Chains A and B, each alone.
Chain A
């Protein structure tokens, strides 16, 4: 059991680091008006392209510098986190509910239910996801809810495929047969016996999907298809930063780092949680 313990500690450290970052970002998002040092929309041409705090020419109160319109970068990142988290939670939860339910049904019942669901998934996945998202938002119109709907509509298949495969594996196990012999109903077995064994995977995928939703939202903002351009979003800031990379690299680099840290944290947090949840790995 020694190696098990080592890997558990390894995953424990990752779990705490990733969870810590996510908690920090989440708190910043929730309390954005209180913690942001400046108004994220306030332009001041006297303060344009201020460098971050450690460089010469920095102004106190503008920790990560300002963009080409003189808006405070840190405040914009903090307010951008709000949209990122709203999209992450809403889109990932919706995709998870739809995908996991269909995956569970397909994997457990098999037969025609599985054939129909698997066919839909195949057809769905034939669309390139980013094009699909852009198309959907173009049809639904830009705005927070269309971004959420677009991500959920595209990515439920990820849950469906993984949960279907896991459920199939579990359904072949003797404990399921034993429950049949004992006289439990099919739906009861699916929910009470099989579902708890796929929950760790659902949790891991859910967290991963939140990271993916953050990226997709950033991409959509980047191509100007997300929220109204006034509200700061990480993708929008990156798009602006790209234009002034030679004059003010920080406007591109800090949002990129924030985005990458957040996405990585979501996936690591999910893996860590899965290891915690799984009684065999635990």
Chain B
């Protein structure tokens, strides 16, 4: 069985030639949750955008392949690629406010995609949306469907977006820090909902986060990203039991614990950072040579 998403040696550069993604390899098996963890600026969002075909115009992919259910995205014509990505993937975004169109009511926004992209009838789309709203525990769908996005709370908006993401039965969902913009109590509910829908629908998720606590709760596999390079990848349980890379260990040490609140938020050790810098430099050198 081929992987749901298979990224091989993906490198992307900025206009100044600097690499933002450094030969990233990463696979998500069908029905599996793969966490992508790393500090701010590591390139987690970039990877998600690369997969979904919405990289900023300043970022250029210079090497590597991305396979979505065995289909090489790089080999498809733009139109075919858009259609494939539209049918097989969805995004649960970080900021649920700007991810909804402020001037359109929730109902048409959600059904539109099913009708126009998947060719469903309006009635079928409406039924489907209501079913999903029920699954994300929205109790008054009639009201919500008539609302404008700004009339809903942050948590409700994120529920709507989760429902929208699962509605078209995508094979792969990219969830980019879907709880960061929410307050703590709502974070837990949203996380639980995503996990529940993921299980019920058997959808593969690439789950971007910088929170190891979230990683432990939701994922089966983890990739640890630093400066656009995957420094460690493992089964989630194995990673927590025995982290291999010094950076992973430093990240874990930086995660707050109940037993010792004062030990929390330790900055990453100097020697670890120096080691990482050397690792990145030698990787860039090795990469740069055959590419002139």
Q: Which residues of A contact B (CB under 8 A)?
A: 110-111, 173-175, 177-178, 180-184, 193, 196-197, 199, 278-280
- Output the least CB separation between B220 and chain A (Å): 24
A278 to B150, CA, bound (A): 11
Q: Report if A177-B116 is in contact (Cβ < 8 Å); known contacts: A183-B82, A196-B103.
A: no
B185 near A: Cβ within 8 Å? no
The residue on A at minimum CB distance from B116 is A184
Report whether A182 and B103 are in contact in the complex, using a CB–CB cutoff of 8 Å: no
Is chain A's interface secondary structure helix, strand, loop, or mixed overall?
helix
**Distance, CA A197 to CA B95, complexed state (A):** 18
Q: How far is the CA of A155 from the CA of B53 in the complex (A)?
A: 39
**Interchain nearest-CB distance for B107 vs A (Å):** 14
Bound complex: CA A197 to CA B117 (Å): 22
CB-based nearest A residue for B147: A279
- Cα separation A184 to B83 with both chains bound (whole Å): 9
Chain B residues contacting A199 (CB-CB under 8 Å) are 103
Does A174 contact B102, Cβ atoms closer than 8 Å?
no
Q: Given A182-B113, A183-B83: A196 and B90 within 8 A (CB)? A: no
**With a CB–CB cut-off of 8 A, which chain A residues contact B100?**
175
8 contacts between A and B (CB under 8 A): A174-B93, A174-B95, A175-B98, A178-B91, A182-B90, A182-B117, A183-B117, A279-B150
- With A and B bound together, what is the CA distance between A16 and B87 in angstroms? 48
Q: How far is the CB of A215 from chain B (nearest CB, A)?
A: 32
- Asked whether any CB of chain A lies closer than 8 Å to the CB of B240, the reply is no
Asked whether B54 lies within 8 Å of A197 as measured between CB atoms, the reply is no
Given the known inter-chain contacts A175-B101, A197-B101, please indicate yes or no for A111 contacting B89, CB distance below 8 A.
Answer: no
Q: Does B99 contact A (CB under 8 A)?
A: yes
Report the separation of the CA atoms of residues A180 and B103 in the bound assembly, to the nearest whole angstrom: 18
C-alpha gap A199/B102 in the complex (Å): 12
Distance (Å) between the CB of A254 and the closest chain B CB? 42
CB distance from A266 to the nearest CB of B (A): 24
Contacts of A197 in B (CB 8 A): 101-103
Given that A111-B57, A280-B150 are contacting pairs, would A181 and B101 also be in contact in the complex, using a CB cutoff of 8 Å? no
Q: Is the CB of A178 within 8 A of B93?
A: yes
Q: Which residues, 22 to 39 on B, are CB-close (under 8 Å) to A?
A: none
B101 near A193 (CB under 8 angstroms)? yes
Given A110-B57, A193-B104, 18 extra CB contacts under 8 A: A173-B99, A174-B93, A174-B99, A175-B98, A175-B100, A178-B91, A178-B93, A178-B99, A180-B82, A182-B90, A182-B113, A182-B117, A183-B82, A184-B116, A184-B117, A196-B103, A197-B101, A279-B150
- The residues of A that contact B89 with a CB separation of less than 8 Å are 181
| A196 vs B89: C-alpha distance when bound (angstroms) | 26
A174: chain B residues at CB < 8 Å are 93, 95, 98-99
User: Chain A contacts of B95 at CB under 8 A?
Assistant: 174
Q: Is B86 an interface residue (CB 8 A)?
A: yes
Complex: how many Å from CA A265 to CA B59?
48
Whether A183 pairs with B103 at a CB distance below 8 angstroms is: no
Report the minimum CB–CB distance from B114 to chain A (whole Å): 10
Q: Mark B134-153, 1 if CB is under 8 A from A, else 0.
A: 00000000000000101000
The 9 tightest CB contacts between A and B, nearest first, are: A183-B86, A174-B99, A196-B103, A175-B101, A174-B98, A173-B98, A279-B148, A182-B113, A197-B103
Q: Report if A175-B99 is in contact (Cβ < 8 Å); known contacts: A111-B57, A181-B52.
A: yes
Distance A74 CA – B5 CA, assembled complex (angstroms): 77
A180 to B117, CA, bound (A): 11
| A180 with B54: CB separation less than 8 A | yes
Interface membership of B85, Cβ < 8 A? yes
Do A182 and B101 touch (CB < 8 A)? no
Q: For residue A282, which residue of chain B has the nearest CB?
A: B148
B86 and A182: CB pair below 8 A? Answer: yes
CB proximity of B284 to chain A, nearest CB, Å: 29
Q: Which residues from chain B contact A278 at a C-beta distance below 8 Å?
A: 103
Which residues of chain B are within 8 angstroms of A193 by Cβ–Cβ distance? Answer: 101, 104
- Chain B residues with Cβ below 8 Å from A280 are 102, 148, 150
**Which A residues are in CB contact (< 8 Å) with B102?**
175, 197, 279-280
